[in-house]
Amino acid sequence: MATTDTTARKLHIVDNTIVVKESIPPKAPPERLNGFKTLRWWRNRPPSNAAVSFVRKEVLVTGADSDLGLEAAVKYAKAHCTLLILGVRTVENGERAKKKILKRSKRLCDKFITIVVMDLSTSSAVERTFTEIRGALSQYELTLDIALLCDSPVEPILKPTYDWETPLQLHTLRTAYLAWLLLPLINTGKPSEPGHLTFVNSTSRGAVPRKWFQDNFLRKKAANSSYPLPKSYQSVKMLGLAIMQGFARIVDVTTFNHRSYQVVVNACCPYLCKSNLGRNFPLHVPGTINPLQYILARSAKEGARTLVSATALDHDGHRGF
């Protein structure tokens, strides 16, 4: 099975082409470990940095104003990407992220960075966001090589809008719609190299029991707004993985029919990382979460290595998690 962890595969640049070679797979935590002990085990074994060049690559990173998204954007800048589109919540956040990226990447010119304000609140807002992204590419007559779709903040309150709870809207439906709009833009001008559509997901989707799949899982999830937050998060991640697999099938069919549509579609999990994804919770919640993150979580820098590596895998990374 393909994996996005750089400790499992070695990535090499040969004539400006990313080549993935098999290596010894990472050891899994001992079976006797569970819960917090498993997280601690993974925390002490972060993935290594992949020596990958993104020269002549145009990259979109959503959630690029903080945490994993920002750290991934820094890595793309350090790897000399041609264009870096930052999907951020506000222009001010984007400007702050831009300054951090320039400082840490030590790139003198800022022309390669474009800021796009992300709005996934409604379908029309997603379409406006897509129009801005397409405009940023058209301005330089470029196509998109990599779309890395990172998480938006976790929503503590399930607010039914348009018959869909908020986490389901943001993390699943709106993200899927944005990916659907972006897919035709990815790698349209470089048939010799695969483009990448990568979703940030979570291994917590593995906690979803089979009995949840009775009838229509999406309909059942939408109808039950009384799910507790952990159950809601796990089911949203399971639906997210199903969406990734759906996009992979679309690519497979189109490639089979036309022999020209080459996009690697995959998902990755950075494991628990220090982040501010719970910033929408009441103040007492971070006070509980932050000490646990300090003990059990990888740094955002370490987690971003998995994200960037997932977007560097060759065709054997297609459909991978």
Residue 171 has φ and ψ, to the nearest 5°, of -85, -20
Residues of the chain under the 70 pLDDT cut: 1-27, 31-33, 152-167, 188-189, 191, 205-230, 255-261, 277-288
Decide if 202 is inside a domain.
yes
Decide if 2 is inside a domain.
no
Instruction: Tell me which residue range forms the domain holding 304.
Output: 9-317
Beta-sheet strands, E only, within 15-140:
17-22, 58-62, 83-88, 113-117
Decide if 24 is inside a domain.
yes
Decide if 1 is inside a domain.
no
Q: Which residue is catalytic, options 233, 261, 271, 274? A: 233
What pLDDT score was predicted for residue 265? Answer: 96
Residue 140 annotated to the active site: no
Q: Residue 182: which CATH number?
A: 3.40.50.720
What pLDDT score was predicted for residue 232? Answer: 72
Number of domains composing the chain = 1
Decide if 3 is inside a domain.
no
What pLDDT score was predicted for residue 16? Answer: 45
Q: What is the pTM of this model?
A: 0.83
Decide if 104 is inside a domain.
yes
Place of tokens 């300054």: 99
Decide if 86 is inside a domain.
yes
Residue 89 has φ and ψ, to the nearest 5°, of -80, -35
Element (H, E) at 180: helix 175-182
Q: Which residue is catalytic, options 237, 261, 271, 274? A: 237
What pLDDT score was predicted for residue 58? Answer: 97
Asked if residue 171 lies in contact with residue 241, where contact means CB atoms within 8 angstroms, the answer is no
Decide if 166 is inside a domain.
yes
Residue 237 annotated to the active site: yes
What pLDDT score was predicted for residue 39? Answer: 77
Taking only the tens place, the pLDDT of each residue in 172-207 is: 889 999 999 999 999 866 767 899 999 999 877 666
